[in-house]
Structure 1
Amino acid sequence: MARVISVYLPTWPTDRLRRTGGDAAPPADAPLVVAAREKNRHVLVAADAAARAAGLGVGMVLTKAKILVPDLHVEYADPQADVESLERLALWALQRVSPFVAVDAPDGLIIDSTGADHLHGGEAALLDTLLGRLIMSGISARAAIADTRGAAHALARFSANPSFVAPEGHGTEVLLPLPLEALRLPTNLSQDLRKLGFATVGDVLSQPRAPLVLRFGPELGRRIAQALGERGEPIEPLRPADLIEVRRSFAEPIGAAETISRYISKLVVSLCTELELRGLGARRLDLLCHCVDNRIEAVRVGTATPARDIRRLTRLLCDKIETIAPGFGIEVMSLTATIAEPMGERQSSSLLIEEAEPDISDLIDTLSNRVGERAIYRFAPVASDVPERSVARVAALSPDLGEGWPGHWPRPSRLLPRPEPIETIALLPDHPPVSITWRGVRRRVRRADGPERVFGEWWRADAELVAVRDYFRIEDDAGERFWVYRAGDGENPETGSHKWFMHGIFG
């Protein structure tokens, strides 16, 4: 079943101005509006969160807004710049989310995410990641995912807070409580409907459609059909001019897996030739299959490092053939290097001089395309004395920065996801526990070593200015070894609660 994401950017003009303005942009807490000329006056066409909090809104006359907020920052509308920036944002989403991304001017994006959610950990995780990156970039955003473009557009603007995931096959239930404007109707049409007592989408859907269309015109019927999925609304994916793409058209539609595999191999050869001419390697490939019934089946694969190895790229794409539903056949196949990075020629090392380093990038690529990029990673050290902050997840083949964990004190092979409280009997301030009770099991301590004092990182939070932890390595009667700590120095209450926690297990 098709799934569509609608991303709504409610304050895109002001967000764009702040992003492009750099240091010259108004402070985040300063009200900022965008005005445009309407007949013989200027009205607000966009207002940021600070301006809305001050009582300003879209449609307000500019002179009135300046009276209400004397220190108001005013910029004048530049629709062309807004659209161009929106296209750049769509290109960013094209590279990271799905091969089907289109601009939904003037304030959003449309993304066909069919089959792409598992690479991001599910639909909810996909939306959270997408919105998180936008918000961290200073862009206000809401997003929804639904079965149709019309439903996703409506839910993103009237239900998402900040995200909304409609269940597959949701039908009309999720649309019924939404206002009439959710159907993307012209303003005069929605006003006419409201005069007759229609307030929500449910009010419209509860009436016979033919009389409504006869009275209000075909636009109402078209929008209803699009929202319900009765009428197709194809997404024209964004394709930049400098995108490296090869295509193959067929006189007769193809559909057999063997035939698709054969032409994938031919497309990969052509694409790798073009990549080599430009000195690039592919990091992400999109295979688009244009079917006879006006559908587009997409396959996306990625690589851990820039690659143009024909055999490897062909295998990665052919592994996904079973996800392609050709239907009545495929008329056109296109292969695109959505992300390409510089790739120099490598000189093979001589086995007589040195041993060649093992190359596991092929294995990483295979696993990543099966279970998702986020599921394949490695741990890297971080400069922090606080144990849970001293490690980070990085890409499986990211370069080694040469840093390491402290070696003067042994560390457990496994840290718990978060420290768990334990009950102890211990002599304060510096003695290890005599016994502990963890997860309902009491353990007598036979051997212990410590304390190792870890201080808080005062530059992160004021509360950590005097906070300390005292860590102990302990061993119980059964020979199991644990890493426990006491919050505080055992004497001064401001240094911690003096409670005990289990933090790790030695292998």
Structure 2
Amino acid sequence: MRRVVSVWLPTLPTDRIRRRSGVPPRGLPGGAAAAIVTATREDRRRVLAAVDAAASAQGLYPGMPLAQAQALGGGWLSVHEADPQGDAAAMRRLALWCLRYAPLVAPDRDGVGLWIDITGCAHLWGTETALLNDLVRRLSGWGLHARAAVADTPALAHAMARFAAAPVHILPPGASPPDLPVAALRLPADIIEGLRLLGFDRTAPLAAAPRAPLVRRFGTILATRLDQLAGRVFEPIQPLAPETAIQARLTFVEPLLTAEAFATVIVRLAGMVSTALERAGRGARALDLLFERVDGSVQAVRIGMALPNRDPRHLGRMLAERLGQVDPGLGVEAMRLLVVRANRVGPTQLCAVPGDDKAKVSPGPLAPGSLAPGSLAPGPLAPGPLAPGPLAPGPLAPGPLALDPASLDPLGLGTLVDRLANRVGSDRVYRIELVESDVPERSVRKAHPLSQGLVPHGLAAKKQARTGRRAAPAWPADLPRPVRLLDPPQAVETLAALPDSPPVMFTWRRVRHHVRRADGPERIAGEWWKREGERHAVRDYYRVEDESGRRFWLFRKGNGNAGETGDMRWFLHGFL
């Protein structure tokens, strides 16, 4: 189901002025911010174009004559010249920045808001709530007052962003439109005034009224807006693309409907984009494939790469695997492949003389910034990890210098990570990184699958002395750890002698295990410098093997003597 975010910036012009000035020019009594307004000329008089929250609280509003506003505002009113071109440019830059959330972003028609089609993208942020909270938090950090809402249609999201009680509002999928003021329908002012004269102040009674007399009096726009609000009429948004982005677009004489046809076009688009990337000396990190349907709507497929890549075969393969997400509707009349993030990749010398394959040299290191650990597709488009997608190159140009695709990823790990993440999800492709902690459940964390590997035990000091940087921790060789830890540890019933004898038998999940061999204890004290409650905490760990040869990692809370070290209960923490 389609899900659309509407972001409303009601005081964008005055927020831009406040950001430029740094602090308000004057202060109101009590330390409140000064009222800021912008003015423009309308016929032979000057009127207010925009007002901030402080001015609105004093009764000022857009369209009010400036002389009247100055009489009401007194000496606390700061008047600035309106800059509609600057506001529009700022909104466009903001819309391009919002491409980090979804590939389909466009400013709405009132100039102080934008739409983001997050269909199929919200899971990258966990939930729709997390996505909206992150968006509003970042805008607020820039000094922009923002409201946002999510709904099934652009019209309903637009209305909820402006008229919902909460600044962040989410309508569940399939929810019916609530009763809203008629101003939420985005109708011309004269039509809204005419509806109020007829007694229609809310959308619910207006939607229940007979359509024919209303259309005869106000035109078809009223019926269209009501149907768009209810989702009965599809409302497309025209997405923006960065002006300097590398992209390729193909149009078709007849609309395409089949996956096979799309796959053929993808091969051509990937080759065109790959050639442009090679000329620019860059490798793609994130791509958007846009399907322009005959009904005016646009569907998008987004992929990301773990490493910069310009191999058209790899990129084409990754995009083709996402075709199952595309609904062609009545047909697709054009397809566009857009590089939304790329990193610089330098050339590698392959041979000194054309045709001399023996003169190949090992590829050098990647260009700085080509790998950003912690995200498969980092950057302004994607905060959290994106699903990957790469390419495969055509024939290399002859000559002493050529670009070797393998130099971008000598071991092919980036390609492997891309394909795995594309199939199972980028959040499921990671490696385990060690953390300096003796407590087992705190000693590991998830890391980017291609981030720096671990340093073998005993070489950490040498590497630190050589590079000046602290090396990653490693497990002591004489203290093996389980391949799998249980989170949380599971309680077991044991029979063991105190204070430090290993268990003779234990029962886990109603199954009794008799211990044949045991090793321990390995005592681990609590991290009192992190948590006050662990000042005296102790765990005694044992490696045990039952009669069938299975090995378990058990621990007892406490040292077997002092009650303040633990309650002497036993737990199963992992499997060896």
Fold shared by both chains (TM-score > 0.5): yes
Report the equivalent of 1:164. Answer: 170
| 2:369 counterpart residue number | none
Whether 1:370 aligns to 2:439 is no
Q: Relative to structure 1, is the Cα distance of residues 475 and 187 closer, same or farther in structure 2, using a 3 angstrom cutoff?
A: farther
Equivalence for 1:395: 448
How far did residue 237 of structure 1 move? 0.9
Residue equivalent to 2:413: 360
Deviation at 1:368, TM superposition (A): 2.1
- Cα pair distance change 1:278/1:13, threshold 3 Å: same
Q: Which has the larger radius of gyration?
A: 2
Shift of 1:108: 2.5
Check whether the contact 1:291–1:327 (CA below 8 A) recurs between aligned residues. Answer: yes
Whether the aligned pair in 1 keeps the contact of 2:14 and 2:38 (CA below 8 Å) is no
| Structure that is richer in strand per residue | 1
Check whether the contact 2:490–2:573 (CA below 8 A) recurs between aligned residues: no
Distance in 2 (alpha carbons) for counterparts of 1:59 and 1:439: 69
Query: Is 1:338 the counterpart of 2:340 in the alignment?
Result: yes
Tell me the residue number matched to 1:480: 552
Q: Give me the whole-angstrom Cα distance separating, in 1, the residues matched to 2:17 and 2:87.
A: 9
Match of 2:215 in 1: 213
Match of 1:45 among 51, 59, 65: 51
Show structure 2 runs of 5+ residues with no match.
63-68, 351-356, 364-405, 456-470
Paired residues of 2:101 and 2:121 also in contact (CA < 8 A): yes
Q: Distance in 2 between matches of 1:413 and 1:16?
A: 54
Q: How much has 1:18 moved relative to structure 2?
A: 6.7
Contact (CA 8 Å) 1:381, 1:392: kept in 2 or not? Answer: yes
Distance in 1 between the 2:453 and 2:12 partners? Answer: 39
> Are 1:144 and 2:137 counterparts?
no
SS at 1:275 equivalent: helix
What 5-or-longer segments of structure 1 have no aligned partner?
458-462
Q: CA deviation at 1:482?
A: 3.6
Distance 2:189 2:572 in 1: 60
| Contact 2:286 2:302 (8 Å CA) reproduced | yes
Q: Secondary structure at the match of 1:335?
A: strand
Distance 1:100 1:358 in 2: 35
Structure 1 residue matching 2:263: 3-state secondary structure: helix
Q: Which stretch shifts more, 238-247 or 342-351?
A: 342-351
The corresponding residue for 1:243 is: 245
Matching residue of 2:523: 450
Q: Structure 2 vs 1, CA of residues 367 and 30 (structure 1 numbering), >3 Å: closer, same or farther?
A: farther
Aligned equivalents of 1:25, 1:208: Cα separation in 2: 53
The code of the aligned residue for 2:4 comes to V
Q: Report the more deviating stretch, 406-415 or 248-257.
A: 406-415
Cα distance per residue 1:449-498 (max 9 Å; x no partner): 324231334xxxxx869967544425689663245667xxx899xxx999
Offset of 1:279 from its aligned partner? 0.4
Please tell me whether residue 103 in structure 1 is matched to residue 172 in structure 2: no
Q: Per the alignment, in what secondary structure is the counterpart of residue 225 of structure 1?
A: helix
TM-score by length of 1: 0.74
Q: Classify 1:354/1:334 alpha carbon distance in 2 versus 1 (closer, same or farther; 3 Å).
A: closer
Shift of 1:216: 4.1
For residue 454 of structure 1, give the secondary structure of its aligned residue in structure 2: coil
Counterpart residue number, 1:259:
261
Provide the aligned C-alpha RMSD in A: 5.0
1:237-264 deviation line (CA, Å, top 9, x unaligned): 1022211111222333333433332222
* Higher mean displacement: 387-396 or 217-226: 387-396
Cα distance in 1 for partners of 2:70, 2:119 equals 44
Identity %: 37
Deviation at 1:207, TM superposition (A): 1.1
1:380 lines up with 2:433 in the alignment: yes
Q: Distance in 1 between matches of 2:120 and 2:431?
A: 26
Q: Superposed, which structure 2 residues align to 1:428-447 within 5 Å?
A: none
Q: Which of 58, 61, 69 is the equivalent residue of 1:59?
A: 61
Q: Output the amino acid matched with 1:505.
A: G
Partners of 1:448 and 1:98 lie apart in 2 by 53
Indicate if the aligned counterparts of 1:443 and 1:476 stay in contact, CA closer than 8 A.
no
Distance 1:57 1:499, change over 3 A: farther
Aligned counterparts of 2:73 and 2:437: Cα–Cα separation in 1: 49
Structure 2 Cα separation of the partners of residues 401 and 15 of structure 1: 47
Deviation at 1:422, TM superposition (A): 10
